[in-house]
Structure 1
Amino acid sequence: MAQHRKRPRSVAQRTVSLRTAAATLTLAGAPLAAGGAAVAAPGTTAAEVRQQVDELHHEAEEATEAYNAATETAGRAEEHLDRLRDQAARRTDELNALRRDLGAQAAAEYRAAGLPASLQLALATDPDEYLERAAALDRAGSRRADAVAVLGNELLAVERLRAEAEAEADVLADARSAAAEHRATIERRLAEAEELLAGLTAQERAAALAEPTGPTGPTGPTEAATGAVPLSAARDASPSARAAAAVAFAYAQLGKPYGWGATGPDAFDCSGLTQAAWRTAGVSLPRTSYSQVSAGTRVSRDQLAPGDLVFYYSGVSHVGIYVGDGQIIHAARSGTPVRMAPVDSMPLVAATRPA
């Protein structure tokens, strides 16, 4: 982790989302067994293994969204740092040019023959000559004072840019370090889940990775899955052409693999899929699920329409795209493809309609 320095307020504010993302992993970072390995106890049933695997995958997804936030912060910081360095280089060139001009002026005056300009003025005998020399001396002094003032301002500007670049470099280092930590958490949780799954038969493994079918809505039993929704029906029920385009994109990704941190075109994580779907409709969404939840108009469960984003779990760590008839399309978790699922198969906490 880079040593921290005092940062301009604007730069410090930009690290808040990174700190928030890291805070969500406080519980997820605790090992499930001695030594950090997730090993099923003797006599553990397949159902109990499935529950443990679900918990591990959920923790991995929380870490994935935090990883996405950290890498997004790092990307912005790197771009900003490049701009600051370019600006500092240009202002430094301007500063050096001003210094050369002042140096040339001073050298020319030093090389000038005769008495100092002020003494020449005092000894002038012709009134017209006196006035002419006085005006020239005044203009030269004014130009020099202006040049010195500009030089001072340029020097301050260069120093400000260098200080801001130094602070931005700290932001970049912090974001890269956080991303590496979240990546390690993801890999550890997925490895633990794989170790648990390795003790199951092929049939039990398939059942453990299957999409939940029972309704688990926070307000009690709701309708269960009614089967696949035809694309034509989902498009026709969409509230706008943009929503229809986002839904059509989501359908086209069915069967593609889950990949943490992936935004397509070959693999997706949950927020990567929804971001890509709405991008094809001309709408730019933030990268993470807990940012996307604030990027549209909130809608209630009974107002859901195709194209709406639905968010799950108290930490808003999962998101899918609603396609109608009580169904969503989502990138569920590692080891499973992008697929359709009941909207209430996970604890739904919010829904939004992107503009």
Structure 2
Amino acid sequence: MTVGLLLLALLVAQGGATAEPRPTIAQARAKLVKLNEQADEVVEKYNQATESYQKARKKYQGLNTALERKRARLDALREGLVSLAVGSYQFGGLSGMQGFLDSGNADAMLSRMTSIDQMARTQTEALRSFEATTVELRAQRDEAKVVLAEADTERDKVGKEKKKADRLVREQTKLLRQLGAFNVGDPNSTGIAYTGPASGDARVALEFAFAQVGKPYRYGATGPGSYDCSGFSQASWRAAGVQLPRTTYEQWAWGAGRRVPLDALQPGDLLFSRGLGHMGIYAGDGKMVHSPQTGDVVKVVTIDGYWRGRFLGAVRP
């Protein structure tokens, strides 16, 4: 009886310890495709949250600087009012009034009266300026509190999106290493020469873009040693003197009046995927240059081969 129970326990333990079957290469690659799509979306949300936080923080810092200037002006006005009050007392007190009445010179009396009137006006103007500056300071202080709260909210969003992105990146890295397909890239890569048909600013942007080929993808990166997709497009067009917004969402919105259909593409056009999780730059001849995803590098690919029906639209900078 005891031996039978021991054998049964051993069998149960062995059965419970049986590892899950290792996924096939095809299954791993299918999972990787889904992970890449999820990561694209999360990374751009992270970029957007980061951008929103930075803008809110910058606005708050600007208000803070303005507040400091207003405080300095307020202090100066306060000191001026104190000086005026002291002068007014000395001039208009008993000794001042007695001197005024004792003066028998009519011109001197008129001059003193004018001085008193001018002093009263100066005091009134100083008080009004003081009150206006105080009201403005309070309003800006209240606005700064609201902006700071917005920045804190955006910072929390950044933290949440970063945790999601980090988790997806770990999964991507693990799968790619299992497949033997993780490419670390070379942050110092000098890329390849662009020999396509682009001209003008588009050619400058593409020459820069092709010079980055071989550098690794890193989410949230904007160069020079690594890039994510929107950071790559932004850096490439910046080289041509065109300032694009930071994220795919912003670049797509920025290009609302610059959209071009797929059959009218020109080299340098920005290409966007459905969901705005990814983007690249059209290089001509049905190809695009882009920074794909974790474990890959800046590269040139065919549009049809990469997008597989996920193409959303294009924008011409």
TM-score computed with the length of structure 2 as normaliser: 0.80
Report how far residue 303 of structure 1 moved: 0.8
1:52 counterpart letter in structure 2:
K
For the Cα contact (< 8 Å) 1:308–1:322, is it kept in 2? yes
Match of 2:194 in 1: 231
CA distance in 2 between partners of 1:170 and 1:104 (Å): 40
Match of 1:318 in 2: 278
Q: Would you say 1:248 and 2:211 are equivalent positions?
A: no
- The within-5 A match list for 1:95-244 is 95-112=74-91, 115=94, 131-197=110-176, 200=178, 202=180, 205=181, 231-232=194-195, 234=196, 237-238=197-198, 240-244=199-203
- The within-5 A match list for 1:73-112 is 73-112=52-91
**Any unmatched runs of 5+ in structure 2?**
1-18, 184-191
CA distance in 2 between partners of 1:326 and 1:100 (Å): 71
For the Cα contact (< 8 Å) 1:117–1:137, is it kept in 2? no
2:86 counterpart letter in structure 1:
A
Match of 1:275 in 2: 234
2:169 counterpart letter in structure 1:
L
TM-score computed with the length of structure 1 as normaliser: 0.72
> Larger deviation: 131-140 or 115-124?
115-124
For the Cα contact (< 8 Å) 2:173–2:295, is it kept in 1? no
CA distance in 2 between partners of 1:51 and 1:100 (Å): 73
Report how far residue 106 of structure 1 moved: 1.2
1:115 counterpart letter in structure 2:
L
Match of 2:220 in 1: 261
CA distance in 1 between partners of 2:93 and 2:126 (Å): 25
1:339 counterpart letter in structure 2:
K
Match of 2:267 in 1: 306
The change in CA–CA distance for 1:194 and 1:119 in structure 2 (over 3 A counts) is same
Q: Deviations over 1:33-66 (max 9, x none)?
A: xxxxxxx974754323222211112211212111
The change in CA–CA distance for 1:45 and 1:104 in structure 2 (over 3 A counts) is same
Name the one with the larger helix percent: 2
Report how far residue 312 of structure 1 moved: 0.5
Q: Deviations over 1:256-285 (max 9, x none)?
A: 110101111111110111111101111000
**Any unmatched runs of 5+ in structure 1?**
1-39, 210-228
How many pairs does the alignment contain? 286
1:231 counterpart letter in structure 2:
Y
- The within-5 A match list for 1:52-91 is 52-91=31-70
CA distance in 2 between partners of 1:246 and 1:113 (Å): 74
Match of 2:293 in 1: 333
> Match for 1:295 among 244, 254, 264?
254
Secondary structure at 2:94 match in 1:
coil
Report how far residue 119 of structure 1 moved: 9.1
> Larger deviation: 122-131 or 273-282?
122-131
> Larger deviation: 114-123 or 266-275?
114-123
The change in CA–CA distance for 1:50 and 1:114 in structure 2 (over 3 A counts) is closer
Report how far residue 68 of structure 1 moved: 1.4
Q: Deviations over 1:197-249 (max 9, x none)?
A: 56x454xx57xx9xxxxxxxxxxxxxxxxxxx9832x1xx22x3100111111
Secondary structure at 1:245 match in 2:
helix
CA distance in 2 between partners of 1:105 and 1:334 (Å): 69
The change in CA–CA distance for 1:114 and 1:291 in structure 2 (over 3 A counts) is closer
The change in CA–CA distance for 1:131 and 1:231 in structure 2 (over 3 A counts) is closer
Secondary structure at 1:53 match in 2:
helix
CA distance in 2 between partners of 1:61 and 1:119 (Å): 85
Secondary structure at 1:294 match in 2:
helix
Which 4+ stretches in 1 moved above 6 angstroms?
116-127
For the Cα contact (< 8 Å) 2:222–2:235, is it kept in 1? yes
2:225 counterpart letter in structure 1:
D
Report how far residue 118 of structure 1 moved: 7.9
